[in-house]
Amino acid sequence: MSRYAFVTSLIFSLLHWAEPQFDLVSTECLQCICAATSSCDFNIGCSPNTCGPYAMTWGYWNDGERPVLDQDSSYADGAYARCANDKWCAEKAIQSYMLRYVSATKNALS
């Protein structure tokens, strides 16, 4: 391995390690929200204003950086509904939403 490749690899490893590796909303908290909202029914589907076991609105999903399932596009018809009805994707939207607004609140208070 060349010296350049080794140094580049080391830098990328350190950058990845330095990223925060925690979620703002704990697994336990997500479970409580899910249980209180829908009894964690991942087959609940959509109502006119919300989708999925977390009763996620389109606006919440949009503010949560529009995560999608693999091979999907955030601009495809039904992407919001597919995400909101999927455990991993819905929780990703929640974490992203919280990260966005916690950061915005910290900046506003600074």
29-72 per-position pLDDT tens digit: 999 999 999 999 999 999 999 999 999 999 999 999 999 999 99
State the CB neighbour count (10 A cutoff) for residue 55: 19
- What's the DSSP call for residue 54? T
Cβ atoms of residues 85 and 44 within 8 Å: yes
User: DSSP secondary-structure letter at 85?
Assistant: T
Q: Does residue 63 fall inside a structural domain?
A: yes
Cα 75 versus chain centre, distance: 16
For the entire predicted model, the pTM comes to 0.76
Residue 15: inside a domain:
no
Q: Give me the residues paired with residue 51 across strands.
A: 46, 56
Tell me which residue range forms the domain holding 39: 23-109
Query: 96: domain CATH number?
Result: 1.10.530.10
Instruction: Determine the Cα–Cα distance for residues 48 and 105; give it in Å rounded to an integer.
Output: 30
